[in-house]
Amino acid sequence: MDKIVCTCGNVNPAGTELCESCGRPLNQETKEKKLVDMRYEGSARRSQTYNKTIIDKIWNFFSSVKVGMWIIVSILVAAAIGTILPQVFYVPATTEADIAAYYERIYGTFGKLYYELGLSDLYSSWWFQTLIGMLGISLVIASLDRVIPLYKSLKKQQTKRHISFLKRQRIYGIGEIEASNESIDKAEEKLKTMRYKVKRDGNAILAERGRFSRWGPYVNHTGLIIFLLGVMLRAIPGFYVDETMWLREGETLYIPKTDGYFLESKEFTYETYSKEESSEVFGEAIDRVGSIAKNYQTDVALYKGADDAVAGKPDELEFVKDSSIQVNKPLKFDNFSVFQMDFRLDELKAMKFQLQDKETQESFGDFTIDLSDPQPIYELQNGYKVEILDYYADFTGFEEGVPQSKSPLPNNPAFLVKMYSPEFPKGETSFVMIKETLEPLGENKHKIAFQSVETRDVSGLTIRKDLTLPILMLGGLIFMIGVAQGSYWNHRRIWIQRLEDGQVVIAAHTNKNWLSIMKDIDAVSVVANLPKYEDQQDLDSKAEKGEGV
């Protein structure tokens, strides 16, 4: 494609509508228009002319604002569809089959369809992420394709513009005036005091202010791109962690994904408001729902394994700090935050028993079994002792005579024990459950009587790390700067020129807020003689109304 050489001698890139230098219209279509389209200064922003290779075709596709808009609409529609039913993440099921069954059971045929179409995990689907990626490409290319030519033509613009450019501006006036040279001098002075940057070229003035507002949209797009970049980084290991753990009082466990940190729960506290302390605020609510939570708190100690430590060795932990984790007051270390998220109260911790004579209920001593670490032998006084042969934390019954436990959690503890006494040095065997005792090897003289339980609470904690947050915030900040830049400032230009034939022309352009630029011109008119101007677009609309169109 050839360059376009303007009458003024400037060489413009192919596709240019208005000469970058003098502003003359460069093609027939533009010449026929009464007003010029000033959006990108008539520059060759989208070289549709370079449409030969596949790369150009792809480039032009993404450069199109129309395409960009459709990408945004598709994302909005898809994101909205994703909110119709809960996403997989919030569904109380883990295996594929359970999840499928859940959707069908709760939401019927629609739920089944929703799951099968993959809408239940929409936001992490490849096509949704691809759409977001396409939005990113569109932002980059559409911005590059516009900001570079716009920058060039604003930089190249001459003070003296051709009359064919000036008369196609929305604000335009021409006329004979007295003392025109003096008027132009006065106008120059006045415009300078109004914080316009004024350039003078013989009989021509170009007064310009707020050009940087033209960069607003591109600054804004840069912010968006940085934001998307931050979201992209979440996919890289080490940038983003979101894990959960259950921690019992007294337990010390490895904190998932933290590279050698351990957490011990000292105490979990659940407090509610009492009626006395807050009847004014919560009185009615307490009457209605029974109790209102005041505090969920886990007191913890944080430990770190040695730097060269290997997993599994519990004895080399170094104390880091004590902390109380409350809702919205996480434990923080090394970019990690541990949040209080959930709890279970009163899980069985220990059980206290008494060895008794079955008939006389005479006691031969108490002993307490720690359910997380039962001992093989509990020695009592006077030669009495109890041996724990086996322990079933979550006892469910017998299968072919063998006691079964369905989990390692002490939901329903049962013990196979042997009771030794001076009378029975070989021991009596008993199977002890919470409310019942079996004597599998015949009638016993002694029994294990249940006395009391100790319980402990379990804290549900969430471990978070997000190194992308500063990037997201930076992106958001730049985004807002761009919005402010484009919204609160506007790019105004006023051209005043004395033509060869002695007539004076005034023309003006702004990217928004036309009333203000007219006020500016009026202020200049007070000190300088200027021809009357008209808002040509307004005239057009008046004419249209008059014709009844």
Which phi and psi angles does 440 have, rounded to 5°?
-65, -25
Restricting to residues 504-543, name those near another protein by CB under 8 A: none
- In order of 140, 459, 465, 475, 513, the CA distances from 468 in angstroms are 21, 28, 9, 11, 39
**Least spacing, CB of residue 6 vs another protein, in Å:** 15
Closer to another protein by CB, 388 or 481: give it.
388
Strand partners, 4: 12
Token digits of residue 130: 């691809």
Alpha-carbon span 458 to 300, nearest angstrom: 12
Please give the residues from 240 up to 279 whose contact with another protein meets the rule CB under 8 A: 252-254, 256-257, 262
How many binding residues for another protein (CB under 8 A)? 50
Give which of 110, 117, 112 is closest to 102, Cα–Cα. 112
Shortest reach from residue 307's CB to another protein, in Å: 14
The yes or no reply on residue 72 touching another protein (CB under 8 A) is no
CB neighbour list of residue 468: distance below 8 Å, 6 or more residues apart: 230, 231, 233, 234, 239, 240
Minimum gap (Å) between residue 314 Cβ and another protein:
5
Q: How many CA atoms lie within 13 A of 370 on its CB side?
A: 7
Which of 8, 75, 91, 140 forms a contact with another protein (CB under 8 A)?
140
CB of 27 to another protein, least distance (A): 20
Q: Is 187 in the site for another protein (CB under 8 A)?
A: no
At its nearest, how many Å lie between another protein and the CB of residue 114?
Answer: 20
Q: How far is the CB of 155 from another protein (least distance, A)?
A: 13
DSSP SS3 for 223: helix
**Binding track over 198-237 against another protein, x by CB under 8 A:** ----------------------------------x--xxx
Measured from the CB atom, is 222 or 405 closer to another protein? Answer: 405
Question: Residue 106 and residue 102: Cα distance in Å, rounded?
Answer: 6
Among 51, 193, 272, 375, binds another protein (CB under 8 A): 375
Q: Note whether 51 binds another protein by CB under 8 A.
A: no
Which residues have a Cβ under 8 Å from the Cβ of 497 and sit 6 or more positions away? 160, 161, 163, 166, 203, 204, 205, 504, 505
Instruction: Give the Cα-Cα-Cα angle 249, 335, 468 (nearest 5 degrees).
Output: 130
- CB-CB contact of 316 with 306 (8 Å): yes
Q: H or E stretch including 543?
A: helix 536-547
Q: Which is nearer to another protein, 242 or 271 (CB)?
A: 242
- Closer of 183 and 405 to another protein (Cβ): 405
374 binds another protein (CB under 8 A): yes
Sequential DSSP letters for 397-429: EEETTEEEES-SS-SB-EEEEEEE-SS-TT-EE
> Which range touches another protein (CB under 8 A), out of 52-60, 70-78, 111-119, 211-219?
52-60
Among 238, 250, 283, 314, binds another protein (CB under 8 A): 314
Q: Which parts of 396-425 interact with another protein (CB under 8 A)? A: 405-408
- Residues interacting with another protein, by CB under 8 A? 3, 11, 13, 50, 53, 55-56, 58-59, 124, 126, 129-130, 133-134, 136-137, 140-141, 144, 232, 235-237, 252-254, 256-257, 262, 310-314, 372-376, 388-391, 393-394, 405-408
